[in-house]
């Protein structure tokens, strides 16, 4: 199993609005870490040749704008999921993730099972 310096944390109820520079799409955040995230239920129209996406995250008590670089993509049949490395984020993102790490009490997700 891959060891991560900053493990992924399951996080419910956060919507991701993604732009590939050509269109806008909506997905759901599956898990997060300080430097990455996974987004699921994305319409297949999202351009998988884009080097970087702009992502706006909205959920209870959260609103962040991030620039992310796709690392992997999985076709889920009618939708797709992506894993992305965060290239640019506000300091409040790191604070948010650190609070989630504390709240999770060490219960993290294994990204290889997503």
Q: Quote the pLDDT of residue 108.
A: 46
End-to-end CA distance of the chain: 14
Q: For tokens 């493990």, what's the residue?
A: 7
Q: Quote the pLDDT of residue 17.
A: 97
List domains and CATH numbers for the chain. 9-88 (2.40.10.220)
Query: 103 by DSSP, 3-state: which?
Result: helix
DSSP type of residue 106 = T
Task: Identify the segments of the chain with pLDDT beneath 70.
Answer: 1-6, 105-114
Burial 18-41 (b: 16+ CB within 10 A, else e): bbbeeeebebbbbbbbbbbbbbbb
pTM of the model: 0.84
């Amino acid at each position: 199993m891959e060891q991560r310096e900053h493990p992924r944390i399951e996080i419910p109820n956060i919507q991701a609005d993604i732009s590939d520079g050509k269109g806008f799409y909506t997905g759901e955040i599956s898990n997060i870490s300080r430097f990455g995230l996974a987004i699921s239920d994305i319409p297949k129209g999202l351009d998988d040749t884009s080097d970087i996406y702009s992502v706006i995250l909205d959920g209870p008590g959260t609103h962040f704008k991030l620039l992310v670089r796709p690392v992997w993509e999985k076709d889920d049949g009618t939708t797709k999921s992506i894993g992305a490395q965060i290239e640019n984020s506000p300091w409040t993102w790191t604070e948010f993730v650190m609070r989630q790490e504390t709240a999770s009490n060490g219960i993290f997700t294994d990204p290889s099972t997503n």
